[in-house]
Amino acid sequence: MNPVHLELKNVSKNVFRRVNNNMVRTQILSNLDLKVNKGELVTIMGASGSGKSTLLRLINRLSETDSGIILLKGNDIRSYVPMELRRRIGMVFQVPVAFKGSVRDNLSFGIKLWGGNTGIETLSRDTGIPGNLLDADAGQLSTGEKQRVSIARALGNQPEILLLDEPTSSLDAVSEQRIEKLLLDLQKERDLTILWVTHEKEQAQRIGGKRLILREGRLEHA
């Protein structure tokens, strides 16, 4: 058996919505449990607004749980330096953001920050970013291109866990399956643990792995 890599115990999260100038509390996640083994792939589906993005943000500690505990390799994520935690738990956002500068600048951000040795050329080839795009201004890319850039940028950090928030939502079928293959290969090669949020049932079936659905604040087997 693989050792448990990531574990969520009894996690709850409320958000505050402004309604007519009053703050209204809504519970998004309630007593949620999840166990993911090292090198395992988990897909998470769920209705729009069910809290999928909220869940991922808790795991790399972009926001804080209200109760419950999240463990990385058996240690509370709050015992890690947040920056180090986020290097180890990479995240690709639902809405990709390109930083100012060229595509190359974007891809090398994490590598420079953490002194990694991933090659830009390898990263871009693997994620399907054409070579002639490398020196283009990243701000002008299409959403699909930005999506590939943010996947490559996250991989540059050599994370051990990858949180993917609908990473292929703006890609055509060919690019989409190419990214799927890349991520699945990485998962096997590097024993990468992946949490993959998707709204496409076909995608979840295609990529395999454990399939979960977020419903009423908890994860259920699909």
Partner 1 sequence: MLEVLAIAFTVFLVILSAAYARRFGIGKEIILAGTRALVQILILASIILILFQKPLYWSFPILIMMAAIAGYTTYSRSGKLEKGLPVAIFSITIASILMLIPFFLVGIFPVEARYIIPSGSIFIGNAMNVSSLAIDRYKGEIKNRRAEIETYLALGARPEIAAGACLKQGILSALIPSIDNMKNLGIVWIPGVMTGMLLGGADPMEAASIQIALFTSIFAAGMIASNLLLHFSTDSFFTKAAQLKEDMGQ
Ligand X SMILES: Nc1ncnc2c1ncn2[C@@H]1O[C@H](COP(=O)(O)OP(=O)(O)OP(=O)(O)O)[C@@H](O)[C@H]1O
Q: What residue 46 binds from ligand X, partner 1, Mg ion, none (CB within 5 to 8 A, per partner kind)? A: ligand X
Q: Distance between CA 11 and CA 59 in Å, rounded?
A: 11
Whole-angstrom Cα distance, residue 125 to residue 127?
A: 6
Is residue 148 close enough to count as binding partner 1 by CB under 8 A?
no
Residue 118 interacts with which of Mg ion, partner 1, ligand X, none, CB < 5 to 8 Å by class: none
- CA separation, residue 15 to residues 3, 23, 79 (Å): 33, 9, 24
Q: Does 25 bind ligand X (CB under 6 A)?
A: no
Least distance between ligand X and beta carbon 43 (Å): 13
Picking from 5, 57, 2, 61, the residue whose alpha carbon sits closest to that of residue 35 is 5
Query: How many degrees, rounded to 5, is the angle at CA 119 between CA 116 and CA 124?
Result: 125
Shortest spacing between CB 30 and ligand X, in angstroms: 13
| CA 148 centroid distance within chain | 13
Nearest CB to Mg ion, comparing residues 52 and 146: 52
CB of 63 to partner 1, least distance (A): 6
Q: Does 53 bind Mg ion (CB under 5 A)?
A: yes
Beta strands in 54-206 (DSSP E): 67-72, 75-76, 89-92, 161-165, 193-197
Stretch that binds partner 1, among 43-51, 94-102, 128-136, 181-189 (CB under 8 A): 94-102
Identify which range of 9-17, 65-73, 102-110, 136-144 contacts ligand X by CB under 6 A: 9-17
Q: Which of ligand X, partner 1, Mg ion, none interacts with 61 (beta carbon under 5 to 8 A by kind)?
A: partner 1
The residue within the footprint of partner 1, chosen from 2, 10, 26, 63 (CB under 8 A), is 63
Pick the binder of ligand X from 5, 8, 36, 54 (CB under 6 A): 54
Number of C-beta neighbours around residue 209 at 10 A: 15
> If we measure between CA atoms, which residue out of 58, 56, 88 comes closest to residue 197?
56
Nearest distance from C-beta of residue 158 to partner 1, angstroms: 11
